[in-house]
């Protein structure tokens, strides 16, 4: 899949990718085949964004309405739920700045600055460290999920980002060969299970068979015809647990 996406975009096919939270972490890991995150303390935090100076020149935020720009700058409406961070120092030191453009940063409870949104310089790849989807769809409140924002500005930001990526996907002209093939691929073929009583997630899709994933290769997106590894959505190789503490697999500088 990674090789296909890189080659498709290199050959002129618009094939966008979106990553949320772990998706941002995996996307940057895949790009340089290295884990360069550090432990941080940003779980259950709602924050405003600290935009980079030229964020308005980005594809992701170029059409952001001024009232949402103001809200994102001043209101705690982006929800963070992570204990690993990509710092600006590592972003530059490991060459990620050659592949991605940082669009915003944030600071965790311990004063660690981390990249909170970015986009690809060459490819239509986008990622945010926060969770825009929880604003709309996750309503469970417990000791670990107290601060998910559900106000009108938070909802509008979530909708804006959703609309942005859908419009990116519309630039791709791929389609199913038949209506029957399309219908067989719809998520509506599978029942959603209500899980809010036992989880922070309101609904889950539960499948009997696990996904099969190809072996991981080595790559760098700045090289043509590169082989990109495929990373399962829930596979977390960023950190390991030892004695109850999170430690980076690759130590950050």
Helix (H, G, I), strand (E, B) or coil at 116: strand
Q: 21, 82, 85, 145: which is the annotated catalytic residue? A: 21
User: Quick check: is 66 in a domain?
Assistant: yes
The predicted-structure confidence for 141-176, as pLDDT tens digits, reads as follows 888 889 999 999 999 999 999 999 999 999 999 999
Domain assignment of residue 191, given as a range: 2-248
- Catalytic residue (choose from 40, 82, 85, 131): 131
How confident is the model over 61-81, as pLDDT tens digits? 999 999 999 999 999 999 999
Domain presence at residue 253: no
pTM for this predicted structure = 0.79
Where do we find the tokens 């719809």? 186
Pinpoint the alpha helices (H) of the chain: 2-10, 22-32, 66-74, 88-93, 132-137, 152-170, 179-185
Residue 40 lies in a domain: yes
Instruction: Answer yes or no: 145 catalytic.
Output: no
Interval 224-241 mean pLDDT? 35
Inform me whether the pLDDT recorded for 129 exceeds 50.
Answer: yes
Question: Is 195 inside any structural domain?
Answer: yes
Label residue 238 by pLDDT band (50, 70, 90). Answer: very low
CATH number at residue 168: 3.40.50.880
- Determine the pLDDT at residue 2: 52
For the chain, the average pLDDT equals: 84
Active site (annotated) includes residue 21: yes
Q: Is residue 107 part of a domain?
A: yes
- Residue 232 and residue 204: Cα distance in Å, rounded? 17
The confidence score (pLDDT) of residue 97 equals: 97
Beta pairing, strands 17-20 & 125-128: parallel
The pLDDT score that the predictor gives to residue 211 is: 59
Mean pLDDT on 75-96? 97
Instruction: For Cα atoms 44, 203, 114, give the angle at the middle one, nearest 5 degrees.
Output: 30
Domain count, the chain: 1
Q: Read off the pLDDT of residues 217-228 as tens digits, 9 standing for 90 and up.
A: 444 444 333 333
* 43 occurs within a structural domain: yes
Over residues 27-35, mean pLDDT = 91
Q: Answer whether residue 13 is part of any domain.
A: yes
| Contact of 91 with 129, CB cutoff 8 Å | no
Helix (H, G, I), strand (E, B) or coil at 190: coil
Range 123-132 average pLDDT: 97
In a domain, 109, yes or no: yes
């Amino acid at each position: 899949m990674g090789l296909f996406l890189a080659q498709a975009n290199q050959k002129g096919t618009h094939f966008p990718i979106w990553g949320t939270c772990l998706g941002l972490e995996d996307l940057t890991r895949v790009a340089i085949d290295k884990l360069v995150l550090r432990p941080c303390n940003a779980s259950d935090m709602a924050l405003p964004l600290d935009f980079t100076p030229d964020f308005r020149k980005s594809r992701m935020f170029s059409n952001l309405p001024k009232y949402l720009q103001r809200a994102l700058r001043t209101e705690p409406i982006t929800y963070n739920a992570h204990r690993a961070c990509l710092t600006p120092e590592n972003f530059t030191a490991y060459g990620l700045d050659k592949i991605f453009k940082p669009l915003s940063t944030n600071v965790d409870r311990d004063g660690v600055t981390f990249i909170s949104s970015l986009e690809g310089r060459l490819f239509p790849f986008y990622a945010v460290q926060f969770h825009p989807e929880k604003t709309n769809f996750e309503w469970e409140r417990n000791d670990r999920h107290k601060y998910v924002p559900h106000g009108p500005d938070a909802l509008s930001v979530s909708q804006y980002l959703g609309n942005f990526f859908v419009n990116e996907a519309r630039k791709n002209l791929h389609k199913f060969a038949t209506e029957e093939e399309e219908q067989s691929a719809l998520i509506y073929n599978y029942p959603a299970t209500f899980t809010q009583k036992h989880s922070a997630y309101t609904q889950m899709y539960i499948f009997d068979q696990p996904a099969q994933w190809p072996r991981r290769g080595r790559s760098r997106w700045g090289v043509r015809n590169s082989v990109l590894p495929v990373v399962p959505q829930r596979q977390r190789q960023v950190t390991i647990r030892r004695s109850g503490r999170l430690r980076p697999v690759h130590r950050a500088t």
